[in-house]
Each structure stands twice: as structure tokens, then as C-alpha cells.
Structure 1
């Protein structure tokens, strides 16, 4: 049973996260190992395994990037442990420009960091919209490339957060 089937929801990139959370809580209550305290050892072990699967499924589907990767995995495109690099010269140039921009930021310059965050969020939103369209159109290889781009953007976001924390 895949993650979408577990939650009885349509495999779609655009999920209602409140609905997902509600389904998760209901399933969590039904599957919780404490409900099997008086059961056999086998049933207790199964309850622990089901709860673990439920938690993994929820965390995967809750995050857009991991949800998209999971959808591609279901379609036969496995991106885990891959070493493939992007072949998009335009995006590679943009990466270099972002790297330079982040390197030039000073830890105390909150206005510049905030501007960089807003710019990054805007570009990330465009990529997420593009990814949603690609997944809906079953353009799997294009979606995989967009996921690679989004991973870079998320990494940049973490670097900006670290800079802000300094």
C-alpha cells in the first residue's frame, strides 16, 4: 500500500494539508500500539510497524518536495541516491549568481537578508507552480529536474537562515 492509499487520498501534488493531518490523526488513534497492549506479541509488533509506516507516510506527504519525489518514485523515477546533475545552463548561471549574492551578505544586514529571502521565496513559488503542472501532465523527467532546482533553492534558504541566526 502506498502513502496515498494509506490515507485514502488521490495521488496529487496539491494536497489539502488540513485534511491530510485530520486523516493522520484518525489513523494514528486507530493504529497506536497502546491499543494493542493486551494483544499477542505478533500483533504488538505489527502495530509498531504500522505506526512507523504511518508516520513515514505522513512526513513524506506533508512536505511538497518529498511528496513530489515520492510521486515520481511511484511512477518509476527514483531520485534517491542519484548523482545526476542539472544540464540547464540558465539555472546553473542563476545558481552562481545566488551563491555570490549570499557570500556578499553580512550577518547583521537584516534588510538585505530579508530581501534575499523574499526573492528566493518568489523564485521558489514559481518553481513549485511549474512542478505542479509537470506532475499533472506526467512530465516526469521535467518534474525531476524541477525538483533538483527546488532542492538547491531550499538549501539556499537554509543558508540564509543560518546567516540570519549569526
Structure 2
């Protein structure tokens, strides 16, 4: 085991956006069994600490790779492109206008005659947009040129907007229908 490896190497998985989540889950379970700290309880302090470090690294890797957005961010990080922090990338005005309209739609849900239908429609839009962006990201990422990787980074930044809106829809749904 080597925590200096990237997550894909650590899990012995191909470095790809179209990751087989079943393989990720299976490999994770295998490593959890191997690395579990209880298996190292009779060994030295150093070996127990390493087991804890490996397990933490494994958990971080799985959490990152199982979600399409964080997997995309991580892939770009491996290419030297930081999409985790705020950046000066300018997104197209049409995309930003669409985001404003979707947020306005979300704000008006409480006053809608059928809030559940409004939320479902917004969620369908979010899901559709995210699916398009995932496809675009994968295409750009596989090209692996400086220009295509920058285009992939723009996709990720758009995905961040859409992901946040999706979480806000879920939160509002919880507020409205779990009361």
C-alpha cells in the first residue's frame, strides 16, 4: 500500500471518468478487509498508525471517486488543474442567465399552486443539464489536450453550479414535505 499513489492507483482502477462503480465498491470492500485497524491490533504502534492512515485514505478515495462531480474535479487535479477553489474562469452569459432563471424558479416554489410539481420539473432540468455536462466533460477529458482539459474544467465549474442547485432543491423539498 502506498498513499502517495493517486486514488485510482491505490484502488487498482483505470484512470477514467466513466468509472465502473461496481468495481469501485468491490475493490473498496476488499481493501477495507485488508486494511481494517482491528487486523493490526497485535502489531507495533507504527503498523497500527499506518493501518489507520491507509483506511482514511481509502475512505477519502472512495468518497471522491463515487460521485461524478468530485471524480471530475479529481481527474483535473491530477492534470494540474484546480477546480476546487474559486477561479477567474468566466462562464457564458447564457449559462449564467439560465442559472438565475432556475434559482428564481426555485424561490417561487413555495408560492406555487403545485409546489411538488414545480420541484419535480426543476429537478428534471437539473438532472438533464448534469447529464449533458457529464458527457461533455468525459469527451473533453478523453481528448487530453491543454485546450480540451480547459474546456473540461469549464464543464466542471458548470457542474458545480448545477450540483449546488440540485442540493438546494432537495433541501427545499425536505422543508416543504417533511413538515
* TM-score category of the 2 structures, normalised to the smaller one: over 0.9
RMSD (Å), alpha carbons? 1.3
Match of 1:132 in 2: 138
* Secondary structure at 1:106 match in 2: helix
Q: How many residues align?
A: 166
Counterpart selection for 2:165 from 156, 160, 163: 156
Provide structure 2 residue ranges, at least 5 long, that are not aligned to the other structure: none
Match of 2:150 in 1: 141
Task: Identify the range of structure 1 (94-103 vs 142-151) with the bigger mean alpha-carbon deviation.
Answer: 94-103
Equivalent positions of 1:12-23 (< 5 A) are 12-23=16-27
Shift of 1:155: 0.9
Partner Cα separation in structure 1 for residue 90 and residue 38 of structure 2? 47
Match of 1:76 in 2: 80
Q: Deviations over 1:59-94 (max 9, x none)?
A: 111111111111111111122223334331111111
TM-score of the superposition, structure 2-length normalised? 0.88
CA contact (8 A) 2:130 2:159 kept: yes
Match of 1:90 in 2: 94
Match of 2:39 in 1: 35
Partner Cα separation in structure 2 for residue 96 and residue 105 of structure 1? 14
TM-score of the superposition, structure 1-length normalised? 0.94
Partner Cα separation in structure 2 for residue 56 and residue 103 of structure 1? 34
Equivalent positions of 1:25-64 (< 5 A) are 25-64=29-68
* Secondary structure at 2:110 match in 1: coil
* Secondary structure at 1:122 match in 2: helix
Q: Does 1:99 align with 2:103?
A: yes
Shift of 1:119: 1.7
Partner Cα separation in structure 1 for residue 24 and residue 104 of structure 2? 39
